[in-house]
Amino acid sequence: MTAKLTLTVDPRVIAAAKQYAAASGTSVSRLVEDYLAAIAAPPVATPTTPVLARLRGALRDTDPEAHRVHQVEKYG
């Protein structure tokens, strides 16, 4: 079953989307449908690796500006 949807889109975006769709061998409708399906799908849980588990939250109490300054001093 299909349904119609009316969208208001900048003409330049439409032109670029049509070019992309043609080069990809698909339609703009299919591109939009695939995109909407992807964002509507529930997120896929990725397993947490042991390294990520140890690092998660490690910078929670760090001042972002101090870290930026440190990076500039370290890497120039």
Quote the number of domains for the chain: 1
pLDDT tens-digit series, residues 40-50: 998 888 888 99
pLDDT string in tens for the chain (76-residue length): 889 999 999 999 999 999 999 999 999 999 999 999 999 998 888 888 999 888 888 888 888 899 899 999 999 8
pLDDT of residue 7: 93
What is the rounded distance in angstroms from the CA atom of residue 34 to the CA atom of residue 21?
A: 12
Roughly what angle, to the nearest 10 degrees, separates helices 28-40 and 11-24? 90
CB atoms within 10 A of CB 18: 13
For CA atoms 41, 46, 52, 53, give the dihedral sign. positive
Domain, as residue range, for 16: 11-57
Residue 70 included in any domain: no
pLDDT of residue 40: 94
What is the rounded distance in angstroms from the CA atom of residue 66 to the CA atom of residue 16?
A: 42
Residue 38 included in any domain: yes
Residue 67 included in any domain: no
